[in-house]
Structure 1
Amino acid sequence: MKKNHQICVVQKLNFPTYSFRFKNSENKISIFDEIRKKFVILQPEEWVRQHCVHYLMTEKKYPKSLINVEKELIINDLKKRYDIVVFNPDGSIHLIVECKSAKININQDTFDQIARYNLSVNATFLMVTNGINHYYCQMDFENEAYSFLKDIPNYN
């Protein structure tokens, strides 16, 4: 009973409702990550990340095999971790996603962070979400700019 009670306290996000697998171990709730194929501790940002992964697979039809989660990248000799990337079949990066906890307001600093990450990955599309508000951009590398979109494209 306790396990279900704890799961109920997670915040409702601005995503469709998805079915997740949970596990309770040493009074810590974990959620199963379909991409990493393991249970990870359920933190507020992880809750957003897992919804976003399911959104990309279910609504946008991106193949699971092209999605990568929480990998390290080096920016100006600093080790950073991106939240989600979606690859193109040729190995280039189609989309990079920055996930924040629902309590975090998305502001210019958030966009600056994903823009810095994108300098090293060169994704065509950017998505920033706190689970409540989602922002989508398309890069214009020629003019070193980005334009906001209503949504990211579905997988073709």
Structure 2
Amino acid sequence: MQKLNFPKFSFRFKNSENKVSIFDIIRKKFVVLQPEEWVRQNCVHYLISYKNFPKSFINVEKELVINNLKKRYDIVVYNSDSTIHLLVECKSPTITINQDTFDQIARYNLQLKADYLMVTNGLNHYYCQMDFNQSRYNFLKDIPNYTL
């Protein structure tokens, strides 16, 4: 797989029926390794290993309904009170992050109400902090590390 703009992590892989799968430590199962999944798995490991988010606070690939349409978010990190701390949108490295990507995560966040947003294609990472009073997001250089 393509080298990404994340630290190097160790992953478990397996081959089955001519498909490579990667072990997802959150879902506790092997999933087919597609470019977006590669970004998602690197991001999960980054959040745990470098940002100190507890693995038990992270949720991956869950369905949500927006305007009667079924969608799936990539990664959510919860606070200890079950509110959402961080919403992450992962794209394949071949996808350019643009306004449409931010519009997508903003639509998801109308329902989820995360404090922070992260958009990544594995090569470029963008971080925002929500300002719900002003109905906007403010760009950051990085997301804060997890603290109790």
The structure 1 residue matched to 2:19, chosen from 14, 28, 34, is 28
C-alpha separation between the residues in 1 aligned to 2:39 and 2:136?
Answer: 27
- Structure 1 match to 2:98: 107
Q: Does 1:90 align with 2:81?
A: yes
Provide the residue aligned with 1:50 in structure 2.
Answer: 41
* Separation of aligned partners in 2, 1:11 and 1:56: 20
From 120, 135, 138, the equivalent of 1:147 is 138
2:111 matches 1:120: yes
1:78 aligns with 2:69: yes
Shift of the alpha carbon at 1:56? 0.2
What's the % identity of the aligned pairs?
Answer: 76
User: What's 1:131 paired with?
Assistant: 122
Distance in 1 (CA, whole Å) between partners of 2:21 and 2:134 is 43
Q: Match for 1:54: what amino acid?
A: H
Give me the CA root mean square deviation.
0.3
- Scaled by the length of structure 1, the TM-score of the pair is 0.94
1:145 offset after TM fit, Å?
0.7
For structure 2, the 5+ residue unaligned runs are none
Per the TM alignment, residue 43 of structure 1 is displaced from its structure 2 partner at its CA by 0.2
Q: How far is the alpha carbon of 1:81 from its aligned partner?
A: 0.1
Give the alignment's TM-score, normalised by structure 2. Answer: 0.99
**Which residue identity is paired with 1:53?**
V
- Gaps in structure 1 of 5+ consecutive residues: 1-9
CA distance in 1, matches of 2:98, 2:35: 18
* 1:89-117, Cα deviation, whole Å (9 max, x unpaired): 00000000000000000000000000000
The alignment of Structure 1 onto Structure 2 pairs a total of residues equal to 147
Distance 1:152 1:115 in 2: 17
SS in 2 for 1:98: strand
Output the amino acid matched with 1:64. K
Larger radius of gyration: 1
Q: Which runs of 4+ in 1 moved over 4 A?
A: none
